[in-house]
Amino acid sequence: MQRSEAAKWFWPFVLVAALAAAIVIAFSPFAQLKAPLAEPEFRMLVTVTAKQPQVAASTPVSIEPTHIVVVASRSPSIVDRLVGLLPQRKQSS
């Protein structure tokens, strides 16, 4: 494309872009009103009644502590590998 042809098409593209931006800005409040909310609103009527517990029929529950053993090892980092390669100095006590 020659320079004169590019300059000829520049302003129509700018006009179309400005018109599209104006339409988006003008209609954005209407789009927000029709957009669904993040959480739908439900109205429910719930009736809760208390009841006496049946103490005689309940089964006893015992909670026993558990023993969890975690076996894991982390892969040595580059620094750990370099430290392992360096000669170790003896520390005087």
Per DSSP, the three-state class of 80 is: helix
What per-residue confidence (pLDDT) applies to 20?
94
Assessment of whether the complete model's pTM goes beyond 0.75:
no
pLDDT tens for the 93 residues of the chain, in order? 566 777 888 889 999 999 999 998 888 777 666 666 666 666 777 777 877 766 666 666 777 777 777 777 778 888 888 888 887 777 665
Count H helices and E strands in the chain, helices first.
Answer: 2, 0
Cα angle 10-13-15, degrees, rounded to a multiple of 5? 110
How is the chain split into domains, by residue range?
1-36
Q: Name, in order, each residue with C-beta under 8 angstroms of 76's C-beta and a sequence gap of 6 or more.
A: 84
The CA distance from 61 to 70, in Å, is 28
